[in-house]
């Protein structure tokens, strides 16, 4: 089974015969069979050469780069091997036709909102005081179908998330003053965790989309941009409540992550290396968890759910089956 490879030590990555060799600056060497690698996450200073890039491209391995502060920097996306001209035309058509674009944008947000509501319902059943937030989100999600523009839709989505985040102080069993989402830079533990874990989900989504025929730069909810794979932003909205948010709740409530997991630099918090490694370990474990898929009738991992979402979108674009966003049912 292929796995993600995380690099936390400074060093060199090169091709060595039919393997990848990582050599730390201290001289420690580790060989990794390329057949076992799904994607690579670089969390450190790393040097590599053209033969290395050529080699991982042959195997369709994406690389994602994060800087010293755990900020996502960018990705290396190999030349696409699953080209489909007709699908690309359909993707563009659904973007240029505003009604078709709005329909898909609504599908993404409606699924995300339902998954957010499901999270709150889970904690209400565990006697957390989130009923007010649930009622407000229930009202807001019923307004989504009435939106006539993408901007109006994103405004409602913003209010849903604002209400959702206001309930996190009830859900999290640590004394953390979390009042609103702050990104640049994140100003407390929860904002730091959200930024880091969400960027990992975005990178995971990009890796999954690469293995489909979709073009990741053509999106419907988020405006396509020159420096981002915006379709991955669309799809990852659906899975943040299921994967990212539930992981953060678990890490904090089990006290795996505390104030001691951070160092304060200037006006923001920086995750320590050990804490970052713990998070990616827990994330990988969660992505490997399986559920019995209601439509497929077989066990499917959380990570594969993301690829299935891309396949569902393809069927919608080619007119085979109307798209419905993934919803948590358990």
Mean pLDDT of the chain: 93
The CATH number of 3-59 is 3.100.10.20
Q: At the topology level of CATH, where does 86-317 sit?
A: 1.20.120
178 Cβ contact list (under 8 Å, min separation 6): 165, 168, 169, 172, 188, 189, 190, 191
Which pLDDT score, from 0 to 100, does residue 65 have? Answer: 96
- The reply to whether domains 3-59 and 86-317 share a CATH topology is no
Domain segments of the chain: what residues? 3-59, 86-317
For residue 37, give Cα distances in angstroms to 6, 34, 149, 232, 303. 10, 5, 42, 21, 15
Q: Convert the pLDDT of each residue in 251-285 to its tens digit.
A: 999 999 998 999 887 777 889 999 999 999 999 99
Q: Convert the pLDDT of each residue in 126-157 to its tens digit.
A: 999 999 999 999 999 999 999 999 999 999 99
19, burial (CB in 10 Å: exposed 0-12, middle 13-18, buried 19+): middle
Q: What is the CA radius of gyration of the chain?
A: 20
Which pLDDT score, from 0 to 100, does residue 295 have? Answer: 86
Judge if pTM exceeds 0.85. Answer: yes
């Amino acid at each position: 089974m292929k796995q993600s490879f995380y690099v936390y030590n400074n060093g060199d990555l090169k091709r060595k015969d039919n393997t990848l060799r990582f050599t730390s600056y201290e001289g420690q060497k580790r060989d990794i069979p390329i057949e076992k690698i799904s994607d690579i996450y670089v969390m450190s200073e790393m040097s590599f050469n053209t033969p290395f890039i050529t080699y991982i491209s042959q195997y369709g391995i994406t690389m994602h780069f994060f800087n010293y502060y755990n900020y996502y920097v960018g990705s290396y996306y190999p030349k696409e091997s699953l080209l489909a001209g007709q699908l690309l035309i359909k993707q563009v058509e659904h973007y240029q036709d505003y009604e078709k674009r709005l329909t898909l944008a609504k599908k993404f947000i409606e699924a995300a909102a339902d998954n957010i509501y499901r999270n709150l319902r889970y904690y209400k059943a565990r006697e957390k005081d989130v009923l007010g937030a649930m009622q407000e989100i229930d009202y807001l999600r019923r307004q989504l179908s009435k939106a006539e523009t993408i901007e109006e839709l994103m405004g409602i989505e913003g209010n849903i998330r604002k209400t959702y985040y206001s309930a996190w102080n009830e859900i999290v069993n640590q004394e953390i003053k979390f009042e609103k989402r702050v990104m640049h830079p994140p100003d407390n533990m929860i904002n730091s965790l959200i930024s880091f874990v969400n960027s990992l989900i975005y990178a995971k989504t990009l890796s999954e989309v690469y293995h489909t025929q979709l073009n990741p730069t053509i999106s419907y909810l988020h405006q396509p941009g020159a420096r981002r794979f915006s379709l991955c932003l669309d799809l990852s909205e659906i899975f943040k409540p299921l994967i990212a948010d539930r992981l953060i709740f678990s890490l904090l409530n089990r006290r795996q992550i505390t104030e001691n997991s951070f160092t304060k630099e200037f006006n923001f918090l920086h995750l320590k290396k050990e804490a970052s490694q713990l998070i990616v370990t827990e994330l990988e474990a969660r992505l490997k968890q399986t559920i019995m898929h209601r439509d497929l009738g077989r066990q499917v991992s959380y990570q594969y759910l993301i690829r299935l979402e891309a396949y569902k979108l393809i069927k919608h674009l080619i007119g085979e089956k109307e798209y419905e966003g993934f919803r948590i049912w358990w």
